[in-house]
Copies of this chain bind each other. A is one copy, B any other.
Amino acid sequence: MSTRSPLAPAAFPALPDIPGVRAAVARARYKAWDRCDLTFVTLDEGTAVAGVTTQSKCPSPEVEWCRAALTLGRARALVVNAGNSNAFTGRRGRAAVEAIAARVAGAIGCMPSDVFVASTGVIGVPLPIDKAEAGIDAALAAPEASWEDVANTIGTTDTFAKAATTRAMIGGVPVELVGIIKGSGMIAPDMATMLGFIFTDAAIEPGFLQTMLAHANRRSFSCITVDSDTSTSDTVLAFATGKAGNAPLTSEEDAGADAFQAALTDLCTQLAQLVVRDGEGATKFVTVTVEGAVSDASAHRVALSIANSPLVKTAIAGEDANWGRVVAAVGKAGEPAERDRLSIRVGTTQVAREGLAVEGYDEAPVTAHLKGSEITVGVDLGLGEGSATVWTCDLTHGYISINADYRS
């Protein structure tokens, strides 16, 4: 991994074991590197699964495989390949996914459709089947891996291992949730994102798990952007082993469903923010809040317009109180907005109100805020009740260096 992001947490979190989940890692050597790059997770019988995947029109064969398997709602294994996304590889890419599922099904005694596969890395190169098969065989013989090993193994340009945990009570029964995630560039999830995996020992009916994951996704992964570039391989899967012993959740009427939804949304938000904190070249974590829009959806689009603006992102990188660039980003969003109702806040300082700079505007506290690493930009459109929050990072020389200076 490269130099650890300055926005990374101090340490990898302490994570509980999730009964029914066992992970191993291996060296498939998809690239010329000496590190584990294949993750193999087995899941006990009865594990429910839900997932959200990229809305890209050019999805990887892994994404297509997972979509089909998700309709059955059951999972027994997960294989994650790092270093090659296998996207845009036609029949050969599809054959690689089928070979992996068949190998795993034969080894652990399940249906191929019980095996979920995700891959991340360069686009356009078929995943080498021989390396994948050898890696799976090695993982089958390997000792159990820690969550930190797993979180490191699924990463590519990530500079730190990312994971989070939450818990909830369902009908008096405590359940645990653990999530791991990778991603730092090509991040602009369109209803789904990156590679993220969530494990819980709660018992949840697959259809309802899907409903809850979709809800959490809208509030978390769909609210982050690093560079506006949606990936071909974005996938988040949630696995529920049912080992906690709670009465299975089947609908939002069930006792504990609210608590689990809140814990799941919290977990997804933590994971999503970790991806932004590892945004390529990032030196500032930026929270953009839009209020007063005609709808939440409109607020979300305005917030993304600000968060994706290269000029806003470079101004923040340069600690430049150039809030006019926020005005321009609101103006170009294509959403209802009226210049003379627009107010802007940076940190806790109101910089503009109702279409112009506030009387006696003092730049000093704004500049001081921008020197920190946790930046907030607030916009009030003054039109309605719609609101949204989006998280992003600044745009720096580091991003250019990572993506232009070296051949990928």
Contacts and interface: CB of A to CB of B under 8 A. Distances in A.
A323 interface: yes
A232 interface: yes
A404 interface: yes
A33 interface: no
Interface in A45-102: 54-59, 85, 87-93
Contacts of A336: 57
Given A324-B123, A403-B314, A88 B58 contact: no
A396 interface: yes
Nearest to A318: B404
A320 B57 contact: no
A320 B124 CA distance: 14
Interface stretch (A129-137, A174-182, A349-357): A349-357
A88 B404 contact: no
The number of times this chain is found in the oligomer is 2
Nearest to A85: B324
A94 to B, nearest CB: 10
A156 interface: no
Identify which of A231, A333, A356, A401 gathers the most chain B CB atoms within 10 Å of its CB.
A356
B124 A352 contact: yes
Given A186-B328, A324-B124, A309 B229 contact: yes
Contacts of A88: 324, 327, 339, 342, 352, 355-357
A4 interface: no
A311 B229 contact: yes
A372 to B, nearest CB: 16
Contact of A314 (B332, B354, B400): B400
Contact of A337 (B57, B318, B357, B401): B57
21 contacts: A56-B331, A57-B332, A57-B333, A57-B337, A58-B331, A58-B337, A89-B356, A123-B322, A123-B324, A124-B324, A228-B228, A229-B325, A230-B328, A230-B332, A232-B328, A314-B400, A314-B403, A318-B407, A395-B400, A396-B404, A397-B400
Interface of A: 54-59, 85, 87-93, 122-126, 185-186, 188, 190, 227-232, 308-311, 314-315, 317-318, 320, 322-325, 327-340, 342, 352, 354-357, 394-397, 399-401, 403-408
Given A228-B309, A229-B309, 11 more contacts: A88-B355, A89-B356, A90-B340, A123-B327, A124-B357, A227-B310, A314-B399, A314-B400, A318-B404, A318-B405, A395-B404
